[in-house]
Amino acid sequence: MQEIASWALNSASLKGAFYADARIVNERGRSLATKNGKIGSAADSESLGIGVRVIADGAWGFASSDDLSRKSVEETAARAVEIARASARVKQEEIHLAPESTVTAEWVSPFKIDPFSISVEQNLDLLLKIDSELCAVAGVTLAETNLNFKREEQWFASSEGANIHQTKYITGAGYAAYAFAGSEIQKRSYPNSFGGQWQNKGYELIEELKLVENARRTGEEAVALLKADRCPEGVSTIVLDSAQLGLQIHESIGHPIELDRVLGMEANFAGTSFLTLDKLGKLRYGSELVNVVADARPEHGPGLGSFAFDDEGVSAQCTPIISNGLFTGYLSSRETAHAIGSNRSGGTLRAESWNRLPIIRMTNVSILPGEKPLSREQLISSTDSGIFMQTNRSWSIDDKRYNFQFGCEMGWEIKAGKLVRMLKNPSYSGITTDFWNSMDAICSRDEWTLWGTPNCGKGQPQQVMGTGHGAAPARFRNVKVGSAYKGN
Amino acid sequence: MLDEAKAGELFAHIKKHSSADEVEVLFYDVHSALTRFANNTIHQNVAEENQVISVRSVFGQRTARATTNRTDGESLQRVVQASESLARVQHQDPDLLPMARPEESGTGTVGAVRHFEQTAALTPQKRADGVEQIVKIAGDNRLTTAGIFSSSEISEGIFNSRGLQRWHRQTSSEISVTMLAQDSSGWQKANSPDVCHLDARMLAEVAAKKARDSAHPQEVSAGRYTVILEPAAVLDIVGFMFFDFGGLAILDQRSFLNDRVGKQIFGENINISDEVNHPLQSGAPFDGEGVRREHVPLIEKGVVKRLVYARATAQRVKKSEYKDKLGHVGPTGHGFPLPNEMGEAPMNIVFQTPDNPQTTEQMIASTDRGIYVTRFWYIREVDPYEKILTGMTRDGTFLIEDGKLRHGVLNFRFNESLLHMLSNVEAMGTPVRASGEESFDMVVPPMKVKDFNFTEVTKF
């Protein structure tokens, strides 16, 4: 593969590229799913190709192909240069990359059990067992389960001399029970909604998730929600479970800190950001308890944002994003680092596959757990009055990431430190900085989970990327609740 | 590009190595390019060539799929073996049907030409020409612009061991323009199989006018308003309901149409069909099993009349409690490639032209007080059965007073039921081919809707 990459780099150089890099990516995937006792889908996939990124005449070009013959690779690189020259016709200034030392490296994400070594029969048996537990609950009208495995192997080489070979194993699994009756459909998911839990791990993740053990309860909760009272409308204290807090971080911290959004580069689609450059080091983003990092280093955990090097050869780093409530950092790249006065990229440039241009993506954007021991039970027992919300059902936020609204699958009324009443259709909304400044408690490390979001969309053409979000249950005061159903 | 003859050779090769009772191959080949600009600069500019070969094997009542983008002999053998290995260990599916026969597939292409050489041959220089025009208009208006100019050529086909063989090729091109001022923005987007139909200058002028006219937006309190929605806003919000128009969604009891087919659930002025052959539509005239896509009248005078069905779904519905409750039931050619969990969906939506179409200018002139919406953003489903959706306005939201656009307003969050919205449509325009960001392209009209539910206001 190194020889193939060198064909691309040499061809780009001969055509006049000032800089070039090539990524060859070989992907393998397996997706299995069941629905109501039947196998819903069973599919294997593989994809191999090369993407060549160049700077010529001070502008970017990118071309990709699934044909790895020498002729095709050289033509692909030449096409990238031709495209860069066309880009140069409409530019305001030349592209400059922050310096980066070149490395030769090999890295494989840690795993214990190769997920592809587990027989399909064993996987299907597991899913059908979960399905059977869900369907055994009277009132469950639809049961869905899924298992997903990926292996992503990438060779990166640049005209500056970088030569990096990385392999990642990714595993994901989850399920949901639906209950339809009268004029409503209720749903409960485990261990999280929209695909479950995903991490850079092998099959050991499946064993850790205790999927079968939680199935019956999940189905029972879906049915119980049909008879629960609706979440009231008003202003309340809320406690969020760690999975919902993970998505809250993703939407209201992770996206606004993307420096390409801040600089207007995503204005036509994903949007911009309220975090203009003047706010760095000055904005009180949250309360003193809010400490957030963007940490791609494997020691942060097996998150979907963990790697050794990003897709332009920059090593994984930990960037403090919010420190004791103060806004302290952005997600940056070699092209954008200068905008925040940095002489080095934060190492966050990633591409969905060989056929996509790497762009700034969240790594593992995580809130750090509280330092004092605090369990979820203790957090709830210390709350006089409020609503405990679990598992995301809907999410929406404006294109500068100010106004958000989240719906959850299940809520509980808290009274005098106890969960006293199940609530259906819970939702909450607010303005990002008001919300984070209202956080007055967060659980400690024992309650902290590194969640995987496998489906983050961004870019044109759109790219789907996995991101990681560590979170623990936390409490927020004076939050607007129930407005999703206001007037409906 | 992969053509039908070459695909036929690859299929013959695959069939030779197949030991399955039946084998089906989907082919997809794409050459695409996208020029992206922001801050009045082309900052990303990409091109892709890729093909996908997807093999489905069947042993008795078992089936599975494997996919590759490699066409060498060894890779083709590997993908056949992968699909067969997966299929052999599946459980029996009593609803699995034999693969479709050629007579279920129909012949010929869609009525309108959907492949244009000038689109397929569009160069990065030509796209840069278009972007240059847009950037010039931004500069003339002291605005900053961001957007895309893209083009692509695709070939797709399906072959199966029962002799079914269908092929389709088309081109597409698209321009999307955002114009940004200090505290306002405007947006326009258009696409067409024929790049000659795209007018970069016009799109940029309209987006720039919206940005200028919405400058210094004022806060207007949330509440129920008469809204005038541009076609892109209509398609992005209504698109969330069409995945419920499949028979499998009814069987799964995940559709908001459970217990509502045949009932008046929308206003009498709502008439919607699925028509792949409509001159403003795009896409292949066959589905994921190669079955011919039929013209299906989905909604007539506000009543859901028909749903769409994959072959197996139609068979299941006919044996179910729903067999007499859903109108005509039969395969309509809207199935996704097998095996899948979603079944089918109508993807070529066409709103029928109303009796008295109005322009958006006429709608504004007849509105005492309301909100004009260019575009919605980040729409998500709040309630699956009442079809309550939430989302934001974006890039050109105005207050209407006394029949005139008065000024820009801070963007709203809405929480609105589609059942309510489509029962309160006061006027519609002539449907056009429109493109948004949250849903697939459709032929939709602009709409004037009363009592649209805005629940919050954001800060810009």
- Element spanning B375, H or E: strand B369-383
Which pair of structure tokens corresponds to residue A52? 């060549």
User: Is the pLDDT reported for residue A338 higher than 80?
Assistant: yes
Single residue among B208, B243, B261 that ends a domain in this structure: B208
Q: How far apart are the first and last CA of chain B?
A: 46
Which pair of structure tokens corresponds to residue A140? 């469950």
pLDDT in tens, B34-47: 999 999 999 999 99
pLDDT in tens, A404-434: 999 999 999 999 999 999 999 999 999 999 9
pLDDT in tens, A46-58: 999 999 999 999 9
Single residue among B208, B227, B258 that ends a domain in this structure: B208
pLDDT in tens, A447-486: 999 999 999 999 999 999 999 999 999 999 999 999 999 8
- Least CA distance to B207: which residue of chain A? A268
Q: Which residue in A36, A185, A427 is closest to B385 by CB distance?
A: A185
User: Is the pLDDT reported for residue B178 higher than 80?
Assistant: yes
Q: What is the pLDDT of residue B108?
A: 63
Q: B-contacting residues of A 241-270, CB under 8 Å?
A: 263-269
Q: Are B175 and B39 in the same domain?
A: yes
**Residue bearing tokens 């005139």:** B404
The SS3 of residue B49 is strand
pLDDT in tens, A366-414: 999 999 999 999 999 999 999 999 999 999 999 999 999 999 999 999 9
Interface test with A, best of B42, B53, B77, B420 (most A CBs within 10 A): B42
Tell me if B415 and A485 make a contact (CB, 8 A cut-off): yes
Average pLDDT over residues A24-39: 96
Q: Which residue in A39, A93, A187 is closest to B91 by CB distance?
A: A39
Which residues, in sequence order, are CB contacts of A63 under 8 Å at separation 6+?
A51, A52, A76, A77, A79, A80, A83, B46, B47, B48
Q: Are B48 and B139 in the same domain?
A: yes
Beta strands A38-56 and B62-68 are parallel
Q: Are B251 and B181 in the same domain?
A: no
Angle at A211 between CA A207 and CA A215, to 5 degrees: 165
Q: Are B128 and B224 in the same domain?
A: no
Q: What is the pLDDT of residue A487?
A: 84
Q: Are A396 and B379 in contact (CB under 8 A)?
A: yes
Amino acid residing at A416? A
Tell me if A184 and B252 make a contact (CB, 8 A cut-off): no
Size of interface A-B (CB pairs under 8 A): 290
Question: In chain A, what residues touch B65 (CB-CB under 8 Å)?
Answer: 41-44
User: Is the pLDDT reported for residue B107 higher than 90?
Assistant: no
Cis status, amide bond into A191, omega within 30 of 0: yes
Average pLDDT score, chain B: 97
The SS3 of residue B176 is strand
Q: Which residue in A90, A119, A407 is closest to B128 by CB distance?
A: A90
Question: In chain B, what residues touch A54 (CB-CB under 8 Å)?
Answer: none
Tell me if A39 and B69 make a contact (CB, 8 A cut-off): no
Q: What is the pLDDT of residue A486?
A: 87
pLDDT in tens, A37-89: 999 999 999 999 999 999 999 999 999 999 999 999 999 999 999 999 999 99
Single residue among B179, B208, B237 that ends a domain in this structure: B208
Q: Are A350 and A361 in contact (CB under 8 A)?
A: yes
Question: In chain B, what residues touch A396 (CB-CB under 8 Å)?
Answer: 378-380, 390-392, 413
Q: How does residue A488 score in pLDDT terms, banded at 50, 70 and 90?
A: confident
pLDDT in tens, A94-127: 999 999 999 999 999 999 999 999 999 999 999 9
pLDDT in tens, B48-68: 999 999 999 999 999 999 999
Tell me if B378 and A269 make a contact (CB, 8 A cut-off): no
3-state secondary structure chain A: CHHHHHHHHHHHHHCCCCEEEEEEEEEEEEEEEEECCEEEEEEEEEEEEEEEEEEECCEEEEEEECCCCHHHHHHHHHHHHHHHHHHCCCCCCCCCCCCCCCCEEEEECCCCCCHHHCCHHHHHHHHHHHHHHHHCCCCCCEEEEEEEEEEEEEEEEECCCCEEEEEEEEEEEEEEEEEEECCEEEEEEECCCCCCEEECCCCHHHHHCCCHHHHHHHHHHHHHHHCCEECCCEEEEEEECHHHHHHHHHHHHHCCCEHHHHCCCCCCCCCCCCCCHHHCCCCECCCCCCCEEEECCHHHCCCCCCCCECCCCCECCEEEEEECCEECCCECCCCCHHHHCCCCCCCCEECCCCCCCCEECCCEEEECCECCCCCHHHHHHCCCEEEEEEEEEEEEECCCCCEEEEEEEEEEEEECCEEEEEEECCEEEEEHHHHHHCEEEECEHHHCEEEEEEEEEECCCCEEEEEEEEECCEEEEEEEECHHHCCC
Q: Are A150 and A353 in contact (CB under 8 A)?
A: no
Q: What is the pLDDT of residue B111?
A: 61
Within 10 Å of residue B302's Cβ, how many Cβ atoms? 18
> In whole angstroms, how far apart are CA A77 and each of A2, A62, B123, B128?
15, 8, 16, 19
Q: Are B29 and B92 in contact (CB under 8 A)?
A: no
Within 10 Å of residue A462's Cβ, how many Cβ atoms? 12
On whether any CB of chain B is under 8 Å from the CB of A394, the answer is: yes
Question: In chain B, what residues touch A47 (CB-CB under 8 Å)?
Answer: 68-69
Tell me if A44 and B67 make a contact (CB, 8 A cut-off): yes
pLDDT in tens, B369-423: 999 999 999 999 999 999 999 999 999 999 999 999 999 999 999 999 999 999 9
Alpha carbon of A404: minimum distance to chain B alpha carbons (Å): 9
Question: In chain A, what residues touch B390 (CB-CB under 8 Å)?
Answer: 394, 396, 405, 407, 484
Tell me if B180 and A395 make a contact (CB, 8 A cut-off): no
Beta strands A163-181 and A184-190 are antiparallel
CATH of the domain at B72: 3.30.2290.10
Number of domains in chain B: 2
Amino acid residing at B198? L
Q: Are B282 and B246 in the same domain?
A: yes
The SS3 of residue B52 is strand
Q: B-contacting residues of A 74-93, CB under 8 Å?
A: 76, 79-80, 82-84, 86-93
Question: In chain B, what residues touch A120 (CB-CB under 8 Å)?
Answer: 85-86, 89
Percent of chain A's residues with pLDDT above 90: 99
Name the β-bridge partners of A35: A38, A144
Q: Are B13 and B74 in the same domain?
A: yes
- Element spanning B418, H or E: helix B418-421
Tell me if B383 and A48 make a contact (CB, 8 A cut-off): no
Half-sphere exposure of A326 (CA within 13 A, CB side): 6
Question: In chain A, what residues touch B144 (CB-CB under 8 Å)?
Answer: 264, 267
Predicted-complex ipTM score: 0.96
On whether any CB of chain B is under 8 Å from the CB of A120, the answer is: yes
Question: In chain A, what residues touch B457 (CB-CB under 8 Å)?
Answer: 403
On whether any CB of chain B is under 8 Å from the CB of A35, the answer is: yes
pLDDT in tens, A285-331: 999 999 999 999 999 999 999 999 999 999 999 999 999 999 999 99
Cα A314 to Cα A102: distance, rounded to the nearest angstrom: 9
What domain range includes position B255? 217-460
Tell me if A267 and B83 make a contact (CB, 8 A cut-off): no
Average pLDDT score, chain A: 97
Looking at B263-357, list the stretches that DSSP marks H as alpha helix, in order from N- to C-terminal side: 311-318
Which pair of structure tokens corresponds to residue B203? 């799109």
Full DSSP string of B90-157: SPP-TTPPPPPPGGGT--S--SS----HHHHT--HHHHHHHHHHHHHHHHHTT-EEEEEEEEEEEEEE
Cα B6 to Cα B12: distance, rounded to the nearest angstrom: 10
User: Is the pLDDT reported for residue B109 higher than 70?
Assistant: no
Q: Are B395 and B411 in contact (CB under 8 A)?
A: no
**Residue bearing tokens 């409409």:** A90
Tell me if A488 and B386 make a contact (CB, 8 A cut-off): yes
Question: In chain B, what residues touch A269 (CB-CB under 8 Å)?
Answer: 148, 176, 437
Average pLDDT over residues B194-201: 98
Interface test with B, best of A399, A425, A434 (most B CBs within 10 A): A399
Tell me if B39 and A488 make a contact (CB, 8 A cut-off): no
Q: Which residue in B377, B385, B455 is closest to A486 by CB distance?
A: B455
pLDDT in tens, B234-259: 999 999 999 999 999 999 999 999 99
Amino acid residing at A257? I
- State phi, psi for A349 to the nearest 5 degrees: -85, 120
- Element spanning B22, H or E: strand B22-38
pLDDT in tens, A141-170: 999 999 999 999 999 999 999 999 999 999
Which residues, in sequence order, are CB contacts of A427 under 8 Å at separation 6+?
A231, A394, A405, A406, A407, A408, A481, A482, A483, A484, A485, B382
Full DSSP string of B194-220: SGGG--HHHHHHHHHHHHHHT-S-B--
Instruction: Assign a CATH topology to domain A2-227.
Output: PmbA/TldD fold (3.30.2290)
- Least CA distance to A396: which residue of chain B? B378
User: Is the pLDDT reported for residue A196 higher than 90?
Assistant: yes
Q: Are B143 and B278 in the same domain?
A: no
Q: Which residues of B140-157 are buried (b: 16+ CB within 10 A; e: fewer)?
A: ebebbbbbbbbbbbbbbb
Q: Are B234 and B262 in contact (CB under 8 A)?
A: no
Which pair of structure tokens corresponds to residue B365? 């002139």
Beta strands B41-59 and A59-65 are parallel
3-state secondary structure B87-98: HHCCCCCCCCCC
Q: Which residues of B160-178 are buried (b: 16+ CB within 10 A; e: fewer)?
A: bbbebbbbbbbbbbbbbbb
Q: What is the pLDDT of residue A388?
A: 98
Q: How does residue B110 score in pLDDT terms, banded at 50, 70 and 90?
A: low
DSSP state of B353: P
On whether any CB of chain B is under 8 Å from the CB of A49, the answer is: yes
The SS3 of residue B11 is helix
Q: Which residue in B67, B128, B415 is closest to A483 by CB distance?
A: B415
Among residues B131, B230, B205, which one has the least CA distance to residue B175? B131
On whether any CB of chain B is under 8 Å from the CB of A61, the answer is: yes
Question: In chain A, what residues touch B339 (CB-CB under 8 Å)?
Answer: 39-43
Question: In chain A, what residues touch B385 (CB-CB under 8 Å)?
Answer: 180, 183-185
DSSP state of B15: H
pLDDT in tens, B287-332: 999 999 999 999 999 999 999 999 999 999 999 999 999 999 999 9
Q: What is the pLDDT of residue B235?
A: 97
Q: Which residue in A33, A263, A484 is closest to B415 by CB distance?
A: A484
